[in-house]
Amino acid sequence: MMMHQTMRWYGPHDVVQLADIRQAGCAGVVTALHQIPVGDVWTVEEIEKRKQMIEAAGMTWTVIESLPVSDDIKRQTGNWLQHIENYKISIRNVAACGLKVITYNFMPVLDWLRTDVSYTFPNGSKALYFNRSAFVAFDVYMLKRPGAEKDYSMAEIEKARLYMNTASEDEKEKVFRNCLLGLPGSDDAFTPEQVLAELKKYEGIDTAKLKQHLFYFLEQVIPVAEAAGVVMAIHPDDPPYPVLGLPRIMSSEQDAADLVQAVPSVACGFCFCTGSFGARPDNDLIKMIQRFGDRIHFLHLRNTKMDGEGNFFEANHLEGDADMFAIIKEILLLMKRRHISLPMRPDHGHQMLDDLHKKTYPGYSAIGRLKALAELRGIEYALSRVIA
């Protein structure tokens, strides 16, 4: 049994067309209704409109990425109770339209975070990159978050100061702009004032309290998902540790274990991202697949390369710190045991070839993801023959 191979599509305005994704060999598309404000209901009409568009292109849509959880729900402030009720309605609506997996995350304020979205390799291709010193410089000296210095060691502060003294104004402007990028699927960036205002709203919410809020949310929506026949898949934090003084609660194996213990239903599971979990050396990806295999509902296969300074970049899918051969083998064994074909997509491909001349969502140009999918498909095919 092979994985259900998909790619992410950001909708009608995505420079990557549905035909491109089908030509890459994908049977399905992973997408979301980005035009609907966070907290509002996804109507059957809008879901069906998107679904028919994908099916007309010869593919299927069964995985949502993502049905976003509002910051009101994460903080339990403002309209959070109404937003939970709206979320329940959206779950029922997507289930009525035949969708099966709802991806979401519980990261406060910001989604993924990088200091460079066009890190250039010697061969000219480009990738996403996280530079720890540049990020500390952004937090302490550019954003000027109150109390930021307390979150870093003296050595990190010194490296950040050195970065500010040696980096060009263009480099600092690029880091500033990249760190304030909006959520994936949006061309909008946050202003410093907006970020500081949003960060202030999380005062008093630590790791334990944010986990309580996540578990409360799931206690409300998982029974609805179970009754509707869909599953929920939480995406891990990216990067997998606290940023900007905000708690992160889905970064480690222990975080995943806490979720499983708090919400026993198998409808409450994971979007297992080998790039996000893999950007922490203390996460054993093979062990986590074995431990949480029954709760894995969706797969992001990507690879990162770390160093001892806290920096990492998006590596070629077969060349980073994660052993992709062993990971795919473990996934095939898992699917054989569960008698299921798990949906998978390559993630954060390099910008290369003709795509270097196009404006695409960072990490989501077509050719780099096609290359990644081809490599992953090759390993899967070979391993499936051996396992069979």
Domain co-membership, 191 together with 212 = no
Tell me whether strands 101-104 and 231-234 are parallel, antiparallel or unpaired. Answer: parallel
**Same domain (yes/no): 222, 345:** yes
Q: Where in the sequence is the domain holding 154, given as residue range(s)? A: 126-198
pLDDT at 187: 56
Please report whether residue 118 resides in a domain: no
Number of structural domains the chain divides into: 2
Weakly modelled stretches of the chain, pLDDT under 70: 182-189
297 lies in some domain? yes
Active-site residue list: 235, 273, 300, 347-348, 364
Are 302 and 218 found together in one domain? yes
Strands 268-273 and 231-234: parallel
- Determine, yes or no, domain membership for 119: no
CA gap 162, 167 in Å, rounded: 8
Do 36 and 153 share a domain, yes or no?
no
Pair (57, 189) in one structural domain: no
Three-state DSSP class for residue 246: strand
User: Does residue 226 form part of some domain?
Assistant: yes
Same domain, 108 and 178: no
Tokens of 326: 């062993």
Closest to 109 (Cα-Cα) out of 234, 216, 232, 201: 201
Q: H or E element: which one contains 197?
A: helix 192-200
Q: Give me Rg for the CA atoms of the chain.
A: 20
Task: Determine the pLDDT at residue 176.
Answer: 92
171: how many CB neighbours lie within 10 A of its CB? 14
138 and 219, same structural domain? no
Q: Cα dihedral sign for 251, 304, 187, 85?
A: negative
**How far is residue 11's CA from residue 30's CA, in Å, rounded to a whole number?**
10
- Please state the pTM of the whole predicted model: 0.95
Residue 131 within a domain: yes
pLDDT at 185: 43
Does some domain include residue 10? yes
Domain boundary among 166, 198, 230: 198
Q: Quick one: 188 and 212 in the same domain? A: no
DSSP element (H, E) containing 18:
helix 18-23
Running DSSP on this structure, what letter comes out for residue 189?
Answer: B
Q: Which amino acid is at 180?
A: L
First to last CA, the chain: 9
Q: Assign residue 11 a region (left: φ > 0; alpha: ψ between -120 and 50; beta: otherwise).
A: left
**Domain check: are 307 and 368 in the same one?**
yes
What is the pLDDT, as a whole number, of residue 184? Answer: 44
Q: Are residues 217 and 357 in the same domain?
A: yes
Instruction: Report the distance separating Cα 140 and Cα 157, nearest Å.
Output: 8
Residue with tokens 């960072």: 362
Domain boundary among 175, 198, 221: 198
pLDDT at 195: 86
Cα(356)–Cα(238) distance, rounded to whole angstroms?
A: 25
Q: Is residue 120 part of a domain?
A: no
Strands 126-130 and 343-346: unpaired
Sign of the alpha-carbon torsion through 105, 375, 292, 340 = positive
The 3-state DSSP class for residue 362 equals coil
Co-location of 189 and 319 in the same domain: no
Q: What is the DSSP string of 148-188?
A: GGGGS-HHHHHHHHHHHHHS-HHHHHHHHHHHTB-STT---
The answer to whether residues 34 and 11 belong to one domain is yes
User: Is 248 part of any domain?
Assistant: yes
Residue 19, CA distances (Å) to 29, 54, 212, 300, 357 in order: 11, 10, 43, 21, 19
User: What angle (nearest 5°) sits at the alpha carbon of residue 215, between those of residues 91 and 285?
Assistant: 90
Contact 251, 240 (CB under 8 A): yes
pLDDT at 182: 57
Domain boundary among 198, 215, 246: 198
Place of tokens 């222990």: 254
Query: Element (H or E) spanning 238, and its range?
Result: none
Q: What is the CATH number of the domain that holds 338?
A: 3.20.20.150
